[in-house]
Structure 1
Amino acid sequence: MDAFNQVQDWLAQHPIVMSIAKYVLWIVAILIVVQLIRRYLKQNLPNTVTRYKSQKGVEIIGYVLIIFLSITYFTGNITDFTIAIGLLSAGVAITLQELILSIAGSLYIFFVKVYAPGDRIEINGIKGDVIDIDSIYTTMMEIGEWVSSDNYSGRIVKLSNAFVFKGPIYNFSQDFPFIWDEFNLPIRYTSDVELTKEIITEVAQKVLSEYVNFSKKHWKTVVSKYYIEDAVVEPTLAMTLTDNWIQFNLRYIVDYKKRRLTKHALQEQIQQAIEDTNGLITIASATLEVIKMPTTNIHVTTPVKK
């Protein structure tokens, strides 16, 4: 009891420390309640989307309560807390600057809607699908690295939200969930050029018609929202004459998650159509081909015996 009384007497003599201690206890209490509610929602809400949004909503409410508590707690007592808050702010700014920047980044992501869970982004040289955003980290399912094309590598990446202020953010799905892709088809000069154009165009229209129809609607939204010129979303075909072959370049629009699958379907059907021409179209390659061997005369002579 003596020790307790001594602590009480010491706190009574230092009202600033007492006030800061009460403030810290309130903050801890709010954080504990927020975590308990988040855990309850995680265990009792079956729908993934509802569960995720509910947890994020509770987290935001907790931050709002902390901000409100901070404002109301110190209002009217600024004179008493000037020195303490000044020293505390300086220490926090120096030691926790990355953490503060991460929290500011999370608020920036939320209010400006830089990206959201489900978006495919590239940030700080890392590409992947956003699977979670909390107050400090953005969690991504990584794409690429040692895996070719746009496939998952299997690694989950946690990236500080502070990076939203430090470099560009490439969003593959926000506002316009389509990207342009292309591939080149080289054919020999002896091939039927007009037939090649017809085959590529027909296959492209067949495979890409669904993407073209959907992308037109989305592109209108992009044009109305941003200062950007209208673009052609239909497949376009260009021809280039090279030293070795005629090169056809097909440029088309595709769902950002189906780029690899769509390219495979296009190339497979175009190859099959070319094979069905029975030699009217021949795909060129950079291999060396010997067309004709020169005529060589060999004379064998019998030595004369002496």
Structure 2
Amino acid sequence: MNVVFSAGSVEVFGVTLVGISTTTGVKLLVTAVFVVAVLALRGVALAVTRRTLGGEVGDSRRFWARQGVHVVVAGVLVLGLVSIWVTPSTDITTGVGLISAGLAFALQQVITSFAAYFVILRGDTFGIGDRITLGGVRGDVVRLGFLKTTIMEMGQPPSVSDSDPAIWVNSRQYTGRLVTVTNGVIFTDPVYNYTREFPYLWEEMMLPITYTDDRARVEQILLDAARAHAVVDNREAENAFASMRARYALSETSLAPAVYWRITDNWLELSLRFLVPHRGVRAIKDRMSRDILTGLDAAGIGIASATYDIVGIPTITITDPDDRELPRTTRPR
């Protein structure tokens, strides 16, 4: 191959390659060595971080250490590449302007997600380990990157289990699916955080009874179950809610369990409202349900269901197909 290197260009078989020179080749080589060296140092830094801090992957210290390493590496790469390719004698104003405009248009989603990453970190939107709903995905944040957030998906209670996307787990427990959501959705969709400010949830259990049952006794059974298993007279919950009221315009709300009555055309509906931690709700409601059923059985009270009363049957006439007999009429007994 006839390749000629001159001071300013490279010729192959007498053809001058546009944009390629010995200087460009050197810069490409230095760039490759620089990128490999920085990525190798990043791997060493992450390994030292894991060995030094220990703990689990979801440990907040390891999370922030990893984020710090990633930010420093990204900054070093940008500064290094600019230093290699931009020199005082290079007039690249026009080129940089055109390239920047093209990249901004082509990578607008990437740029938005990258900007959202810093908004998430600085805006206390959510962090690693938080239980959130983001972009229609419900679950725990297990990883937060520059462009995307990884969520361990969880189910929903039966009342909303048919919402989109479809979930087959009828409780707030893991489905086993890891879902990736771009960070940019925080600018367009609401973010529901179950744990950031107030790591508790208000839950409700509805119990229908007939109008002839002992209503006061049923209410007491419900309250006893809530006081035995839900969050009642908890200083941490009270302090968390007081902190919420200090930061936001929230009205005073009772944290104690309560029962509300609602009259329907079939039964009396008693709704028990109570406070629970943001995790382990299904186990708490399971224990409460067992206690409630035991209390109802002991009191001889059943759960109401829809019934129908037949008040009359119309006259029925039976006729022989061959008309060999007179019509016979039966009446209800």
Do the structures match in fold with TM over 0.5? Answer: yes
Work out whether residues 140 and 157 of structure 1, in 8 Å CA contact, stay in contact via their aligned partners in 2: yes
Structure 1 range deviating more: 125-134 or 208-217: 208-217
Structure 2 Cα separation of the partners of residues 78 and 146 of structure 1: 64
Residue 222 in structure 1 maps to residue 244 in structure 2: yes
2:331 maps to: none
Work out whether residues 262 and 269 of structure 2, in 8 Å CA contact, stay in contact via their aligned partners in 1: yes
1:179-210 Cα offsets, whole Å, 9 max, x none, are: 11101111111111222222222221222245
Work out whether residues 199 and 273 of structure 1, in 8 Å CA contact, stay in contact via their aligned partners in 2: yes
1:86 maps to: 97
2:9 maps to: 10
2:130 maps to: 119
1:298 maps to: none
Structure 1 range deviating more: 214-223 or 59-68: 59-68
Work out whether residues 212 and 234 of structure 1, in 8 Å CA contact, stay in contact via their aligned partners in 2: no
Structure 1 range deviating more: 242-251 or 66-75: 66-75
Structure 1 Cα separation of the partners of residues 4 and 129 of structure 2: 54
Which amino acid letter does the alignment assign opposite residue 246 of structure 1?
L
Q: 1:15 to 1:208 in 2, by over 3 A?
A: same
Q: Return the match for 2:182 from 142, 150, 160.
A: 160
Residue 195 in structure 1 maps to residue 217 in structure 2: yes
2:164 maps to: none
Work out whether residues 211 and 255 of structure 1, in 8 Å CA contact, stay in contact via their aligned partners in 2: no
Which amino acid letter does the alignment assign opposite residue 61 of structure 1?
V
Work out whether residues 212 and 253 of structure 1, in 8 Å CA contact, stay in contact via their aligned partners in 2: no
Q: 1:78 to 1:286 in 2, by over 3 A?
A: farther
1:126-151 Cα offsets, whole Å, 9 max, x none, are: 11111001112211111121111112
1:283 maps to: 303
Residue 134 in structure 1 maps to residue 145 in structure 2: yes
Question: Which structure carries more helix by proportion?
Answer: 1
Aligned runs of 1:202-281 on 2, under 5 Å? 202-210=224-232, 212-277=234-299, 279=300, 281=301
Structure 2 Cα separation of the partners of residues 24 and 34 of structure 1: 16
**Aligned-residue RMSD, C-alpha:** 3.5
SS at 2:9 equivalent: helix
Which amino acid letter does the alignment assign opposite residue 228 of structure 1?
L
1:47 maps to: 55
SS at 1:9 equivalent: coil
TM-score in terms of structure 1 length? 0.80
Which amino acid letter does the alignment assign opposite residue 283 of structure 1?
I
SS at 1:130 equivalent: strand
Work out whether residues 42 and 55 of structure 1, in 8 Å CA contact, stay in contact via their aligned partners in 2: no
1:61 maps to: 72
Q: Return the match for 2:202 from 180, 189, 211.
A: 180
1:33 maps to: 41
Structure 1 range deviating more: 187-196 or 46-55: 46-55
* Alignment: residue pair count: 290
Work out whether residues 138 and 159 of structure 1, in 8 Å CA contact, stay in contact via their aligned partners in 2: yes
Q: How far 1:18 moved relative to its partner?
A: 8.5
Structure 1 Cα separation of the partners of residues 284 and 233 of structure 2: 10
SS at 1:80 equivalent: coil
Unaligned 5+ runs, structure 1: 295-306
1:171 maps to: 193
Work out whether residues 16 and 81 of structure 1, in 8 Å CA contact, stay in contact via their aligned partners in 2: no
Structure 1 Cα separation of the partners of residues 225 and 260 of structure 2: 15
Q: Answer 1 or 2: higher relative contact order, Cα 8 Å, separation at least 6.
A: 1
Structure 2 Cα separation of the partners of residues 35 and 255 of structure 1: 38
1:297 maps to: none
Structure 1 Cα separation of the partners of residues 29 and 116 of structure 2: 29
Structure 1 range deviating more: 65-74 or 54-63: 65-74
Unaligned 5+ runs, structure 2: 11-18, 156-166, 314-333
Identity %: 27
Structure 1 Cα separation of the partners of residues 235 and 85 of structure 2: 58
SS at 2:227 equivalent: helix
Q: How far 1:28 moved relative to its partner?
A: 6.2
Q: Return the match for 2:109 from 98, 103, 107.
A: 98
SS at 2:8 equivalent: helix
Work out whether residues 212 and 233 of structure 1, in 8 Å CA contact, stay in contact via their aligned partners in 2: no
Work out whether residues 27 and 85 of structure 2, in 8 Å CA contact, stay in contact via their aligned partners in 1: no
